[in-house]
Amino acid sequence: MVVCTDITEARDLCHAVRADGKRVAVVPTMGALHDAHLMLVDRARRQSDFVVVTIFVNPTQFGPAEDYSRYPRNLEQDLAKLRPHHVDMVFAPSAADMYPVGHATTVRVAGLSDHLCGLYRPGHFDGVATVVAKLFNIINPTMAVFGRKDFQQLKVIRRMARDLDMPIDILGVPTIRDPDGLAKSSRNAYLSAADRGRALSIPRGLTAAHYAFMRGERRVDELLGAVEAFVQVAADSVDYVTAANPDTLESLPRHASSGEHLLIAVAMRVGGTRLIDNTVIGEDSPPLARERSR
Ligand code: AMP
Collapse the DSSP code of 268 into the 3-class scheme (helix H, G, I; strand E, B; otherwise coil) and give the result. strand
Question: Does residue 235 carry a pLDDT above 60?
Answer: yes
Between the CA of 32 and the centroid of ligand 1 the distance, in Å, is: 11
**Candidates 149, 176, 182, 275: which one to mutate for ligand 1, based on the most atoms within 8 Å of Cβ?**
149
Between the CA of 6 and the centroid of ligand 1 the distance, in Å, is: 24
Nearest to 7 by CA among 131, 181, 170, 176: 131
pLDDT digits (tens, 9 = 90+) for 93-141: 999 999 999 999 999 999 999 999 999 999 999 999 999 999 999 999 9
**8 Å CB contact between 63 and 121:** yes
Band (294; pLDDT cuts 50, 70, 90):
very low
Q: How crowded is the C-beta side of 156, counted as CA atoms within 13 Å? A: 28
Between the CA of 217 and the centroid of ligand 1 the distance, in Å, is: 31
Question: Does residue 289 carry a pLDDT above 80?
Answer: no
**Candidates 30, 40, 82: which one to mutate for ligand 1, based on the most atoms within 8 Å of Cβ?**
40
77-93 CB burial, b ≥16 within 10 A, e <16? ebbebbeebebbbbbbb
Band (152; pLDDT cuts 50, 70, 90):
very high
Collapse the DSSP code of 24 into the 3-class scheme (helix H, G, I; strand E, B; otherwise coil) and give the result. strand
| pTM reported for the whole predicted model | 0.97
Q: What is the dihedral of CA 244, 247, 250, 256, to 10 degrees?
A: -50
Question: Which percentage of the chain shows pLDDT scores above 70?
Answer: 98
- Continuous segment of H or E residues that includes residue 91: strand 89-91
Report how far residue 158's alpha carbon sits from residue 165's, in angstroms, rounded to the nearest whole number: 11
Band (221; pLDDT cuts 50, 70, 90):
very high
Ligand 1: does its nearest atom lie under 6 Å from the Cβ of 207? no
Between the CA of 253 and the centroid of ligand 1 the distance, in Å, is: 29
Band (290; pLDDT cuts 50, 70, 90):
low
Pairing of strands 273-281, 262-270: antiparallel
Pairing of strands 262-270, 24-29: unpaired
Ligand 1: does its nearest atom lie under 6 Å from the Cβ of 54? no
* Chain centroid, CA 21 distance in Å: 30
* Ordered strands of the 2-4 beta sheet: 2-4, 89-91, 50-55, 24-29, 143-147, 169-173
Ligand 1: does its nearest atom lie under 6 Å from the Cβ of 34? no
Between the CA of 33 and the centroid of ligand 1 the distance, in Å, is: 9
Question: Does residue 291 carry a pLDDT above 70?
Answer: no
Mean pLDDT of 188-206: 97
Question: Does residue 292 carry a pLDDT above 80?
Answer: no
Ligand 1: does its nearest atom lie under 6 Å from the Cβ of 130? no
Mean pLDDT of 200-204: 98
* Closest C-alpha residue for ligand 1 atom 11: 147
* Residues forming the active site: 37
Instruction: Read off φ and ψ for residue 183, nearest 5 degrees.
Output: -65, 135
Ligand 1: does its nearest atom lie under 6 Å from the Cβ of 36? yes
- HEC profile of 135-184: HHHHHCCCEEEEEHHHHHHHHHHHHHHHHCCCCCEEEEECCCECCCCCEC
DSSP assignment letter at 250 = P
Ligand 1: does its nearest atom lie under 6 Å from the Cβ of 37? yes
Report how far residue 123's alpha carbon sits from residue 117's, in angstroms, rounded to the nearest whole number: 10
H-type helices in the chain, by residue range?
7-19, 35-47, 75-82, 95-98, 117-120, 124-139, 151-163, 193-199, 201-214, 220-234
Ligand 1: does its nearest atom lie under 6 Å from the Cβ of 243? no
pLDDT digits (tens, 9 = 90+) for 37-68: 999 999 999 999 999 999 999 999 999 999 99
